Chain A
Amino acid sequence: MGDVKLIQHLCNLSKLTLTDEELESFTSDMEVIIGIMDSIKEVSVEGDIHRDSGVYFADVRGDESAPSYPTDQILENAKEKEDNYFEVPKVF
């Protein structure tokens, strides 16, 4: 995976921008990390993959309305806001 283009592709998918220095160090780090991950390629999959995943899902709760958090509290952590809205740059 020591491939700068691949790292750039992954950065695009995950909305990250790396500096040239970061790009270089991440490319070599990821090569080593993927080398570790590659050992599972020798495993052959037999049977059902999703068997007994270990995540216990409780009963789905009823579709009942309940009080929501007040708007002012939710907006409190936003860095930029106007009236009852989050403020964002122009999207289009």
Chain B
Amino acid sequence: MDFQNLTVKDLRAKLDQKEISAPELTKAYLERISEKDPLVKSFITVCEDSALEQAEAAQWRIDAGEAAPLTGIPFGIKDNICTQGVKTTCASKMLEDFVPPYQATVMEKLCGQDIVMLGKLNMDEFAMGGSTATSYFAKTVNPYDSSKVPGGSSGGSAACVSASMAPVALGSDTGGSIRQPASFCGVTGLKPTYSSVSRFGLVAFASSLDQIGPIANSAYDCGIVFNSICGFDPHDGTTSRHPHGDALSLIGQSVAGLKIAVPKEFFEAGIDDEVKESVYAAVKAYEAMGAKAVEVSMPSLKYAIPAYYLISSAEASSNLSRYDGIKYGYRAQGEDDYNALIRKTRDEGFGTEVKRRILLGTYALASGYYDAYYKKALYLKGKIREEYNAIFKECDVMVTPTAPSTAFGFDEGISDPAKMYLADICTVTVNIAGLPAISTPCGYGKNGMPIGMSIVGKAFDEARIIQMADAFERDFKRVAPVL
């Protein structure tokens, strides 16, 4: 089977036309995983037996003529999304043995369509990082060059799809964790509008920013998955009752006449020349299709990194206080004092980056510092939202680089926290403003590594950014990874 760039859309047709059965398809992907994953290391858990059982159930449904859009489609799932009866580790020693007694809402929805879950995917510990190298379990490598990171935190999801070990995966995005690894691994990733996808069962990092979304081989596939996972959820009080239309409704329509905002600050110092050139070339391609590019400004971008890190770390320090070794998760041994047990558990169970974020968040919220940091970060959040709103009064979408560079090497300072934080500059404002954005490949660097561009849309306008990404993807020739 030729796996390269095989889309969910293609597979749906093959399954419905009985060119391949769901169990055959699942076996093919499981074989691919056993061949490729010892090199890529994208999976924390492979669910061979349950995947084959799910594939049988899916085939019954297909044979009965009752297939839903994702029935029988093999998925990889990021390991911070709770899967009932299957370990959900968050790539942390803290949750190494945690088996959720419930399904995340997104899993309820996908399993309701009889998808096949191939396994759980590697990530930065508790989704804190942009390299997947902070995982407690393994270092996932970039399928284009094993000396380079896959990005993060959904690095396992992006690498797995890039190396064709699954046609689609779920990731989560708090500050770029779907889009940046999609960019690094040459695939498409959608971060939905905040509140459109339920976070129930997503292990919390920063609750006002986290969103689950798909990583796939095309914008179209991202739309199929988004249609299946969005919507109000009584288990998540922050989900919107917005009536989500069909995210694929604009596919194939002309982009002529649409206005593309190109914010100058996203193309200034710190962004590699080859990235700028590729993204500008993509804007030119849209202009050739009849769209109009408009240069705009987002002055608050220079404060985006501190605003993001203060808000996300403050929320993380609160969310991660639940890990005490008592109710679930890792428990330290040899302490017979309650507080000492909690401290030792947290010291042994959390990795360095997680501790660093907890300390930063505690600092931002601590008495004496709150006004200077957290309050100002919230003010900037409002300001950044206002700047986006003003731009979207005039324009339909915004186009920016997804990351300042192509994937960096494992030896290029990934343990330097300041360097890593600053590398998130192109993605964090979208989370701060709660907007949808999709990253799709738009070029390759001199070293052959993929370059991604992000198309940002108005709140709940997923259909527009999917249409735009799809229009570009139709003429863009992807280069296959080496692994």
Residues of A that sit less than 8 Å from B by CB: 1, 6-7, 9-11, 13-18, 22, 26, 29-30, 32-41, 43, 45, 48-61, 69, 73-74, 76-80, 86, 88-91
Given the interface contacts A29-B356, A40-B310, A45-B379, does A59 sit within 8 Å of B241 by beta carbon? yes
- Cβ contacts under 8 Å, A35 to chain B: 418
| B359 → chain A closest CB, angstroms | 5
Q: Could you tell me the distance between the alpha carbons of A26 and B354 in the complex, rounded to whole angstroms?
A: 12
Q: Which of B239, B327, B433 contacts A54 (CB 8 A)?
A: B433
Q: Could you tell me the distance between the alpha carbons of A52 and B387 in the complex, rounded to whole angstroms?
A: 12
Inter-chain contact A16/B355, CB cutoff 8 Å: yes
Instruction: Knowing that A16-B343, A40-B380, A54-B385 touch, tell me 19 more A-B residue pairs with CB under 8 angstroms.
Output: A11-B359, A14-B317, A15-B339, A29-B418, A36-B421, A37-B306, A37-B360, A40-B303, A45-B376, A49-B382, A51-B382, A55-B195, A56-B242, A57-B237, A61-B237, A69-B102, A77-B328, A88-B341, A89-B335
Q: Which of B326, B358, B418 contacts A36 (CB 8 A)?
A: B418
The binding surface of chain A is classed by DSSP as loop
9 pairs across A/B with beta carbons < 8 Å?
Answer: A36-B418, A37-B309, A37-B364, A41-B372, A50-B382, A54-B381, A58-B237, A58-B240, A77-B329
Residues of B that sit less than 8 Å from A by CB: 97-99, 101-102, 194-195, 208, 232, 234, 237-242, 302-303, 305-307, 309-310, 317, 321, 324-331, 335-344, 346-347, 350, 352, 355-356, 358-360, 362-364, 366, 372-373, 375-382, 385-386, 417-418, 421-422, 432-434
Q: Could you tell me the distance between the alpha carbons of A92 and B123 in the complex, rounded to whole angstroms?
A: 40
Inter-chain contact B101/A73, CB cutoff 8 Å: yes
- Cβ contacts under 8 Å, A51 to chain B: 382
The binding surface of chain B is classed by DSSP as helix
Inter-chain contact A13/B362, CB cutoff 8 Å: yes
Inter-chain contact A37/B373, CB cutoff 8 Å: yes
Q: Could you tell me the distance between the alpha carbons of A34 and B372 in the complex, rounded to whole angstroms?
A: 12
- Cβ contacts under 8 Å, A22 to chain B: 352, 355
Inter-chain contact A10/B362, CB cutoff 8 Å: yes
Given the interface contacts A16-B346, A39-B306, A49-B382, does A56 sit within 8 Å of B373 by beta carbon? no
| B368 → chain A closest CB, angstroms | 10
| B428 → chain A closest CB, angstroms | 13
